[in-house]
Amino acid sequence: MLYTTLAKPILFRMDPEKAHHVVIDGLHSATRIPGIPAMMRAMYGVPESRELAVDLFGLHFPHPIGLAAGLDKNAKAVGMFANIGFGFAEVGTVTPKGQAGNELPRLFRLPTDDALVNRMGFNNEGTEAMARRLAQNHQRRIPIAVNIGKNKSTPNELAHEDYRACMKALYPYGDFFVINISSPNTPDLRALQHGDELRLLLSTVMEEMGVQAQASGSGRKPVLVKVAPDMTSEQLGYMVETITASGVNGIIATNTTVSREGLKHPHARETGGLSGKPLKERSTEVVRQIYSQTGGRLPIIGSGGIFTADDAYDKIRAGASLIEIYTALIYRGPGLLRELAAGIKERLRRDGFGSITEAVGADHR
């Protein structure tokens, strides 16, 4: 209520990217003010419960609702995400070298469609800056994923070396890693989702993961691949085969879409990736196809268009073990997390499930 009546009207009068920075910088500063983290937990925190807890990838998630990559590109606010109710969070996308991204303006609200369009272009400060920040985050209450990508100036034939460099620099600091090959805002990036380029990229990342794990004396950390929604069933099927064969631990479905079907707002004409409600059905269908193709053996994080508990539960029943939000957070605020958690719990009980794990893929049985 506080967000929708007070903060949102102010933020929505600002340029979207300026508002974005205000939120991230505010969360970063709030972490350091005595009493504020506890107050935020009291206002927005999601109590842990047996029904909602998920143990996956060797990690414990207090509940299945996470923050998608893109909001905190430089890991500035990781200390606050658990306090406002998230069960895990992705930071990034980060590239080996810092880069400015695409020209302004590059972020647009579509309020009549409950959507955003962005063409940010992996703007970030680079792996060294992120490593410094994550190294200071000692007491994590939730798992933190690091989403990695390639620099715009790096040709696709050398892209695998950028992903290797990210893994090498950030391995000690992420609880798990996400390979981003599905943003529509870096030229030719999505070509890495297919064929020999995908095989080379995944084998390089998994090789570097092994090197880093051995050097640290610990087990391998989980690696997931984030995929695009804009593929045919045949293309998706081939890609999932390659991902499964690589030894990668899971898939995030999906990234933003280049589709503009059914949109009403004038900003629909802007180029870039669309997120929000219009993506809901397609992203759920991709989750469903991946789960069916893999027989549920490859864990899936469902992302795209989740605004209600029904949206979240649909993705879980389609095959998602965890879910992520981003655009809904912009429109609804952090109070949404408690609403989603309570709603998922209510639906689990209604359907006779004792836990999230029991409900994953229920539509296929």
Catalytic residues, which ones? 183
Angle at 281 between CA 85 and CA 338, to 5 degrees: 15
Helices (H) and strands (E) in the chain, counts: 14, 15
User: What's the token pair of residue 196?
Assistant: 């020999």
Q: Are 275 and 116 in contact (CB under 8 A)?
A: yes
Q: Are 102 and 131 in contact (CB under 8 A)?
A: no
| Residue of 176, 232, 191 lying closest to 58 (CA atoms) | 176
d(Cα 177, Cα 279) in Å, to the nearest integer?
Answer: 24
312-327: b (≥16 Cβ within 10 Å) or e: bbbbbbbbbbbbbbbb
Q: Are 108 and 270 in contact (CB under 8 A)?
A: yes
Q: Are 62 and 87 in contact (CB under 8 A)?
A: yes
Q: Which residues contact 136 (CB under 8 A, 6 or more apart)?
A: none
Host H or E run for residue 107? strand 107-110
d(Cα 306, Cα 282) in Å, to the nearest integer?
Answer: 12
Q: How far is CA 329 from CA 116, 281, 295, in A?
A: 11, 19, 32
Q: Are 203 and 167 in contact (CB under 8 A)?
A: no
Q: Are 122 and 183 in contact (CB under 8 A)?
A: yes
d(Cα 43, Cα 85) in Å, to the nearest integer?
Answer: 9
Beta bridge partners of 148: 94, 179
